[in-house]
Amino acid sequence: MSAPATPVAATPVATESDSRSRVLVLSGPNLGRLGTREPEIYGSDSYSDLVSSCKQWAAELEIVCQARQTDDEAEMVRWLHEAVATRRDVVINPAAFTHYSYALRDAAALVTSSGLRLVEVHLSNPEAREAFRHTSVISGVATGTIAGFGFDSYRLALVALSC
Ligand code: DQA
């Protein structure tokens, strides 16, 4: 008789169909230019480095994350509608939309008023920068805000959503 098969530990593979909590990680305008865009403020790592880091952190936290970036306000609004329709919590860096987009605020409010969580993140600390960055029209409808920790702002948001 052959020896019984050695049990193999399951690898946490992120699929959209399992029961683990699913999070949309959304990044707004100009964040696709990370690495070359004002590296003294945003660092020298690229957007694709950010996505790899988020995937790694999500796997460690045993959640499933899907990362997307857009320069288009309408597309971002549609993704927030999708989060509500598919019951996914959201990490969002609204980038410059933070400071003036009431359309995005209203869409973010749909997320949180539907009982889902939405964490606003920023790589830099907008409060410590130019005056126009001190206003966030998103914060008032967000579950919470994390700013000023570089890529770790996203990591801390994923930790919060893993609880
Ligand atoms: C940012 C801060 C915003 O003021 C700016 O417009 C961005 C990035 C941040 O991550 O620090 O594009 O959201």
Section 20-26 average pLDDT: 92
| pTM for this model (two decimals) | 0.89
> Do the Cβ atoms of 118 and 111 come closer than 8 Å?
yes
pLDDT value at residue 9: 43
Query: pLDDT over 90 for what percent of the chain?
Result: 87
In which residue are the tokens 């749909």 written? 110
The per-residue pLDDT of the chain, averaged, comes to 91
- The best mutation among 38, 98, 155 to test binding of ligand 1, ranked by most ligand atoms within 8 Å of the C-beta, falls on 98
Section 70-82 average pLDDT: 98
pLDDT at 75 > cutoff 50: yes
Residue 23 host element (H or E): strand 22-27
134 CA → ligand 1 middle, Å:
11
pLDDT value at residue 21: 87
90-134, pLDDT tens digit by residue? 999 999 999 999 999 999 999 999 999 999 999 999 999 999 999
pLDDT value at residue 117: 97
42 is catalytic: yes
DSSP letters, 28-93, are -TTGGGTTTS-HHHH-S--HHHHHHHHHHHHHHHT-EEEEEE-S-HHHHHHHHHHHHHTT-EEEEE
Domains present along the chain, CATH in parentheses = 22-162 (3.40.50.9100)
Q: Which atom of ligand 1 is nearest to the CA of 31?
A: 12
9 CA → ligand 1 middle, Å:
41
pLDDT value at residue 18: 57
Cβ neighbours of residue 51 closer than 8 Å, sequence gap 6 or more: 25, 67
pLDDT value at residue 19: 60
Residue 68: strand pairing partners: 26
pLDDT value at residue 40: 94
Q: Which atom of ligand 1 is nearest to the CA of 121?
A: 10
Query: pLDDT over 70 for what percent of the chain?
Result: 88
pLDDT at 8 > cutoff 90: no
134 is catalytic: no
